[in-house]
Structure 1
Amino acid sequence: MSDDAPPHSAPAMRQPPGDPVSGAGRVPSTAAGTPPTAPPAPLPPARRDLAPDLARGFMLLVIATVHAHLFRVATGAGGFTLDGTLDVVATAVMALFAENRGYPMFAALFGYGLAQIHRRRTDEGRPWPWVRRLLRRRGRWLVVIGVAHTALLFYGDIISVYGLIALAFVAMLRFTDRRLLTHAFAWMAAGTLAYSAAQNLVFGAAQEPTGGQNPGPLLDVLFRLMTLPVFWPLMIAISVFPFLMGVWAERRRLLEAPGRHRALLVRIAAGGIGLAVLGGIPQALVNVEVWSVGPVAATAVFWVHLLTGYAGGFGYAAAIALVAPRLGRRRGPVTAALAATGRRSMTAYLLQSVVWAALIPPYALNVAPGLGDAQAVALGVGVWLATVVICDMLRRAGFRQGPAEWFLRRMTYGRPARG
């Protein structure tokens, strides 16, 4: 979720919650090891690769619908309504195509963008300590933005998670491919098992009915901040794998040159999305109450859902990379609006949270308990569409960045020189 680079900025909000968050640009040539006299200007849309922007724009739709659906569960009757065919279909579709399928792509795009910054700065002759300081400064400000987002708006922030990953794992950008993939799959195995084991225990309370109680905004802020010591380790555990796979993909320019990797991208798209749907069937059956399982089986079902969600996120990214060149040659208003949203993904992600803060809490409009599952998904689509319209208005007004992207860039690179 940022705007320093052609192919990406994720997110993901996060993600996440997503992703919101990353990118790269061009810095004026200066002496190695010294800061540039001015930060690089954001690249104009015509010079940006379309695929990552489209991917983030589309994944923000996944994030919005997932959040709206889960808000209804957490603040409603404590479960899915399933009052009619539409509710059953909506709940099943979310399990097969959306839940735990959006944040892996945002985390991968974040890794892709961070690797781009490293490559471009290194190609300019910057020494590693200089690049590392730049990336860690970016990570620190992502944490600041994410903590503020948590305190003011939303308990499921992913921006701070990406910032912590940038701080803790920046050295892995210099790993060999073999070492990088070894760490990636080790995190996949350990992280998904730990998250699945903790999921029912830690997050089960979030899906209990509120019983009409109104905690008030101040207690809500306190509760959200108190969840961070538990939320951060669990989200990092399942985000490092896609982050590292994004670094691996950037080394091969998979999103920048899809024509050179068409066969690989086709396999990732078809196999990844197919595997995600297949792996989502057990969780969908549980969610629509066709299959009743005990705690151990529920953990196993969720673990399969989580693992195959990685494949789905990567598959979505590959599919968008395949169609982006054709869309780019005859870019219409819809494609331009989606790309504008992806370029301003952090701003769009935060805007979604502003809407949720107005609609969801019991001390606000408290609309969730009155919604069915299908209505909640429709609400998520509507919120996403509103952010697309706002981001496209910013594009048409001549703003290359959203406010969040502008702030992160300013804090990372400093004030631009006059003239």
Structure 2
Amino acid sequence: MTSGGQDGRVHQLDVLRGFALFGILLVNAQLMAGPYTGFGGGPGASVADRVAAWLVTALVSTKFYLLFSFLFGYSFVLQERSAERAGAAFAPRHLRRVIALLGIGLAHAVLLYPGDILTLYAALALVLYGLRGLSPRAALRLAACLVLGLAAVLLAYGVLTVAYTAPLTPQAYAPYAADTVAAYRGGVGSVSAEHVRELPSAFGTALLYAPGKLAAFLAGLAAARVGLVERRGRDRAWLRRVVVRGLPVGLAGGVVSACCCAGRPLDSRWFPVGEAVAVLTGPALAASYACGLLLVLDA
């Protein structure tokens, strides 16, 4: 697999982007399958369904969004360079992309899935433009601060939740789930109305996790500034080191996160704690996946 073609594209990025989208599809399929995602399935879920939900949480959730966000930041730099080579102003090009992204995201949120991520990406793309002058080292430092800050907030909230609240059971959640299912079984108007009703909550959740996405953007920006994929994408020894070092940390964090977030064995109160662990260890597993895929493709 070559690093780039005559059109200036870095083909490893295209492969990684498709891989990231496949992982996002797995997570979204679970989220769209029913309203009991946080419980590992509904009250009558089979053992197979619960195991599948647990494994998706441990191995897939958050990791592929991180990889996709990293690639977004990397591509931002490549688009900037493309504009320079063409002698065109980058700002108008970037603004057009942001507006298109926002429009697609809003349509998707209303018509298909209220947890759409594209609207958040459109907003963060403007922030990334404002931070484009950061050096790679400064970008990585800011990214680390954002990740640590988000993890600290989630962990503090999780500790308070565990200490002072009662667990939410599938049975207690059932009335809300029944209303949601009834709306989704209606016509187009009923489904869209339910999506609109869920938008404030979805946007609130997106804003909470925005620092993690922006951190991945910045990591991608820093990596693109130094040509990381172009220089290291075929360096098998370096790729193996990333896999060997990142996989144990990422898998251990994924197991802890799944124990907290998938409804087994810990109850719903532990969800924020599991998310804090995922924020801290997810990058290690995402990097391991990406480097492992590049190793397989270049075998």
TM-score with structure 1 setting the length: 0.58
Partner of 1:52: 13
Distance across 1 between alignment mates of 2:135 and 2:38: 50
Partner of 1:266: 240
1:144-159 equivalence runs, <5 A: 144-159=103-118
Partner of 2:29: 68
Query: Does 2:240 correspond to 1:279?
Result: no
Query: How much has 1:253 moved relative to structure 2?
Result: 2.3
Partner of 2:178: 212
Query: How much has 1:78 moved relative to structure 2?
Result: 5.2
Unaligned runs of 5+ in 1: 1-5, 9-24, 27-42, 327-419
Distance across 2 between alignment mates of 1:191 and 1:290: 24
Partner of 1:169: 128
Partner of 2:54: 92
Distance across 1 between alignment mates of 2:146 and 2:262: 31
Distance across 2 between alignment mates of 1:205 and 1:172: 43
Let me know the Cα RMSD of the aligned residues: 3.5
Distance across 2 between alignment mates of 1:228 and 1:259: 36
Deviations, residues 316-351 of structure 1 (Å, cap 9, x unaligned):
22222333344xxxxxxxxxxxxxxxxxxxxxxxxx
The AA in structure 2 aligned to 1:217 is V
Query: Does 2:221 correspond to 1:247?
Result: yes
Preserved contact between residue 3 and residue 230 of structure 2 (Cα < 8 Å): yes
Query: How much has 1:240 moved relative to structure 2?
Result: 0.7
Query: Does 2:79 correspond to 1:117?
Result: yes
Preserved contact between residue 58 and residue 254 of structure 2 (Cα < 8 Å): yes
Partner of 1:322: 295
1:394-405 equivalence runs, <5 A: none
Preserved contact between residue 12 and residue 294 of structure 2 (Cα < 8 Å): yes
Partner of 2:281: 308
Deviations, residues 128-158 of structure 1 (Å, cap 9, x unaligned):
xx22332233122211211111111111111
1:316-355 equivalence runs, <5 A: 316-326=289-299
The AA in structure 2 aligned to 1:319 is G
Preserved contact between residue 51 and residue 324 of structure 1 (Cα < 8 Å): no
Query: How much has 1:89 moved relative to structure 2?
Result: 3.5
Query: How much has 1:277 moved relative to structure 2?
Result: 0.7
Q: Label 1:77 to 1:119 Cα distance change in 2 as closer, same or farther (>3 A).
A: closer
Distance across 2 between alignment mates of 1:57 and 1:277: 22
Distance across 1 between alignment mates of 2:109 and 2:154: 20
Deviations, residues 344-377 of structure 1 (Å, cap 9, x unaligned):
xxxxxxxxxxxxxxxxxxxxxxxxxxxxxxxxxx
Q: Label 1:208 to 1:196 Cα distance change in 2 as closer, same or farther (>3 A).
A: farther
Partner of 2:140: 181
Query: How much has 1:231 moved relative to structure 2?
Result: 3.6
Number of equivalences: 279
Partner of 1:83: 46
The AA in structure 2 aligned to 1:191 is L
Preserved contact between residue 258 and residue 265 of structure 1 (Cα < 8 Å): yes
Preserved contact between residue 62 and residue 98 of structure 1 (Cα < 8 Å): yes
Partner of 2:204: 230
Q: Label 1:77 to 1:319 Cα distance change in 2 as closer, same or farther (>3 A).
A: closer
Distance across 2 between alignment mates of 1:316 and 1:175: 27
Query: How much has 1:196 moved relative to structure 2?
Result: 5.9
Query: How much has 1:114 moved relative to structure 2?
Result: 0.6
Partner of 2:66: 104
Q: Label 1:73 to 1:225 Cα distance change in 2 as closer, same or farther (>3 A).
A: closer
Preserved contact between residue 96 and residue 280 of structure 1 (Cα < 8 Å): yes
Preserved contact between residue 154 and residue 224 of structure 1 (Cα < 8 Å): no
Distance across 2 between alignment mates of 1:134 and 1:178: 27
Distance across 2 between alignment mates of 1:187 and 1:318: 24
Preserved contact between residue 140 and residue 164 of structure 1 (Cα < 8 Å): no
Deviations, residues 13-55 of structure 1 (Å, cap 9, x unaligned):
xxxxxxxxxxxx99xxxxxxxxxxxxxxxx5xxx743322222
TM-score with structure 2 setting the length: 0.78
Report which stretch shifted further, 249-258 or 68-77: 68-77
3-state SS in 2 of match to 1:212:
helix
3-state SS in 1 of match to 2:116:
coil
3-state SS in 1 of match to 2:63:
coil
Preserved contact between residue 112 and residue 243 of structure 1 (Cα < 8 Å): yes
Distance across 2 between alignment mates of 1:311 and 1:120: 30
